[in-house]
Amino acid sequence: MKRMEVLKLLLDVKSDGVSIATMQAIPDWYEIGGGPHMHLDNQGCMGGSSATGLGIAIAQPDRRVIIIDGDGSLCMQLGSLVSIASEAPKNFFHFVLVNGIYETSGAQPIPAEDKVDFAALALGAGYPHAFTFDDYGAFARELPAIMAMEGPVLVALKVDQEPADKGVPARPHDWADALRQSLSDVA
Amino acid sequence: MPDTLCESVPAALLHKEITALGLKHVLTVPDTAQKTFMASLRDDPAITTHTFSTEHEVIACNAGMWIGGMDALVLIQNTGFFAGVNALRGIAIDRKIPTFLVIGQFAHDVTVPVEEDPNTAVRLIKPVLEAMEVPYFIVDRPSDVGALPRAYAQSRAERRPVVCLLTAPTA
């Protein structure tokens, strides 16, 4: 699957939810209009997106939180799967873009790139639902039903390796303010 | 009994400060040095304790909660502080997230000054905090508990992490 294609599907279901994107998904997410409204980038601290999203999900239980994680990033804080399962936020939707490489740093393979099963890890950690898709049509067909589930849900999306030629845009240090303000305004 | 340079702070005293701050959420990877404090907080029906796998997650979750409009206490131990340094830097400092941390000096030999403790987790935390430009308060004895509301207020006013270091195990 192409990353941009699956991101467009996620944008279609974002609605009034909050999105958090990681690393190389960030420029594509902005390109299709996923940010900056109701959105947060996670860069400069790989592995932090899911736990940051967990905090938002706890504080805003009536709002969907959509995490756009990477396989390399998730590996850096794999224990977060257990912490998220423990909290069991019903509004937490965790999408992991699985391309088997550290894309930003030069496409080096992640550990066990040909063996690791993120959906199985999530289920083993205690997520009630987890899925893997490598076919765009199947993912597009099942996504509405997945978004109707009670979270936490993890979806591993097997995407093509792509050149990291867009760069990750630098964001101002008031990173959190706009989203905090938006969430406050609609509270 | 050897002389000690610090005194245990009763859990009830610390708990009272947290209640006075209006905090309802504690984010933790448990701290051996704060056993009694953690137990007291956990027994309080007005406070929810959230336990995490790593201190990195604790600091990230605190950021998310603050963005979502919720304040929390981060309660960890010195060894965990070192595990969470990258999140402290990349999230709490770089992104200007108010982060109120109470850190126990686990395994501190209370008969020697912190600066002379052979345990690097005890001895190096202050220099590392200073290198990271993170303000900290020392809580050596019960009369120092006023540091908690001061640290909390500073973390909010200056939008940064601020630490209270508990030198002795809580009573």
pLDDT tens digit sequence for A18-69: 999 998 899 999 999 998 899 999 988 899 999 999 999 999 999 999 999 9
Query: What is the rounded distance in angstroms from the CA atom of residue A28 to the CA atom of residue A44?
Result: 18
Average pLDDT over residues B19-48: 97
Half-sphere exposure of B16 (CA within 13 A, CB side): 9
Query: What is the rounded distance in angstroms from the CA atom of residue B125 to the CA atom of residue B105?
Result: 9
Q: How confident is the model at residue A186 (pLDDT cuts 50, 70, 90)?
A: confident
First to last CA, chain A: 37
Q: How confident is the model at residue A170 (pLDDT cuts 50, 70, 90)?
A: low
| Cα nearest neighbour of A180 on chain B | B67
Q: Is the pLDDT of residue B1 over 50?
A: no
Average pLDDT over residues A72-96: 97
Distance (Å) from the alpha carbon of A143 to chain B's nearest alpha carbon: 25
Residue A177, both tokens: 């303010």
* Cβ–Cβ below 8 Å for A176 and B61: no
Q: Best mutation site among B58, B74, B95 for testing chain A: the one with the most A CBs within 10 Å? A: B95
pLDDT at position A23: 86
Return the residue matching tokens 């199985």: A120
Q: Say if strands B161-166 and B99-104 run parallel, antiparallel, or are unpaired.
A: parallel
Instruction: List the Cα angle B51/B52/B57 in 5-degree steps.
Output: 135
pTM: predicted TM-score of the whole model, two decimal places: 0.96
Chain B residues near residue A49 by CB distance under 8 angstroms: 60
ipTM of the modeled complex? 0.96
Query: Angle formed by the axes of helices A118-125 and A80-87, to 10°?
Result: 50
Return the residue matching tokens 């509004």: A91
Three-state DSSP state, A166: coil
Average pLDDT, chain A: 93
Q: Is the pLDDT of residue B2 over 90?
A: no
